[in-house]
Amino acid sequence: MNEGVTCTQCGHIVSLYRNPIPTVDIIISTPKGIVLIKRKNPPYGWAIPGGFIDYGESAEQAAIREAEEETSLKIENLKLLNVYSAPDRDPRFHTISVVFSANADGTPKAGDDASDLGVFSRDSLPSTLAFDHAKILADFFSQRTDADR
C-alpha cells in the first residue's frame, strides 16, 4: 500500500509505503518439552519465543538472538518450519513470521519480553496462546516423526 505526504521543505509529494514487518518465532525443543514464554507486554498470553528481525540481521541470526534473549538458551540444529503471513496474525500490525524449530539443553530462564516461562508437552499446552501460535504448534507437531519425539 502506498500513501503520500507533502514534504514541508519542498512541497513535493513523498511516497510512504506500508509493508509487513518481518519477525521470527523459534520452537525450542528440550528433553522435557517445548519452551513457551508468557508475554510481559500486550498482546498477553503464552507464546513461542520470537521477535522482530533487526535491520542488517538475517532471519536465522534473529532466531538465535531472540531465543537467547527470551529463554537464555543457546539453540542448535536450527531448521525452517514454515512462513506465516496472514494479515491478521498479529493484532497490532501486519507481520510475516519466519518460524524455525531448534533444540537446546539446559534450564531456560525468562528474560527480555517474558514475564514467565514454561516447558510443555504436546498434551499440556496452555489454552491462552498469543497470535496464531496454536496453528503454528499444530503444524509443528503434525510434521514431527517418531524419531523427533
pLDDT band at residue 148 using 50, 70 and 90 as cut-offs:
low
Q: Residue 41 gets which letter from DSSP?
A: S
Count the residues in the chain. Answer: 149
User: What's the CA gap between 70 and 6, in Å, rounded?
Assistant: 41
pLDDT number for residue 1: 55
Q: What is the pLDDT of residues 78-93, one digit of tens each?
A: 999 999 999 999 999 9
User: Which stretch of 11-15, 29-33, 74-78 has the lowest confidence by average pLDDT?
Assistant: 11-15
Instruction: Judge whether 47 and 90 are in contact, CB under 8 Å.
Output: no
What mean pLDDT do residues 17-41 have? 95
Domains identified in the chain and CATH numbers: 20-148 (3.90.79.10)
**Within 13 A of 88's CA, how many CA atoms are on the CB side?**
0
Structure pTM?
0.88
The pLDDT of residue 2 is 62
Q: Could you give the C-alpha distances from 91 to 28, 44, 49, 130, in angstroms and in order? A: 24, 11, 17, 10
Q: Which amino acid is at 149?
A: R
